Amino acid sequence: MVVNEVCSHPVYGIYFAFILVDLVAFGENIIRNLEHFGVDESFAKQFWSWGLIYYNYEILKSILLSCVVTTILATIFVERQRPDTPDEELESES
């Protein structure tokens, strides 16, 4: 089952984590700048101090990037350790 092996690869989960961090950062940026979208400044002012993702964006992206590198290196290491025995399915098709 090649499809199941490809779809369950950890890089896909990390990719979705990258998307999640970017979407949350985008949402936080929109909320912090509501006065530019026509919201009353007195209401928008309470959100100007929000900065959880804004101040930690580089750290979060660095952690995710290190997870990607670790996953790729681990995959390369495991593939090199795999014995060179041919697949039985390929032999039976011949």
Residue 50 lies in a domain: yes
Residue 56 lies in a domain: yes
Residue 28 has phi, psi (to 5 degrees) of: -65, -40
Residue 94 lies in a domain: no
Residue 88 lies in a domain: no
Across residues 16-41, what is the average pLDDT? 94
In this predicted structure, what is the pLDDT of residue 59? Answer: 97
Residue 43 lies in a domain: yes
Domain residue limits at 52: 2-79
Residue 6 lies in a domain: yes
Across residues 14-30, what is the average pLDDT? 95
In this predicted structure, what is the pLDDT of residue 11? Answer: 81
Residue 42 lies in a domain: yes
* pLDDT of 1 above 50: no
29-85 pLDDT per residue, tens: 999 999 999 999 999 999 999 899 999 999 999 999 999 999 889 888 888 887 776
Across residues 11-39, what is the average pLDDT? 93
Residue 68 lies in a domain: yes
Provide the number of structural domains found in the chain: 1
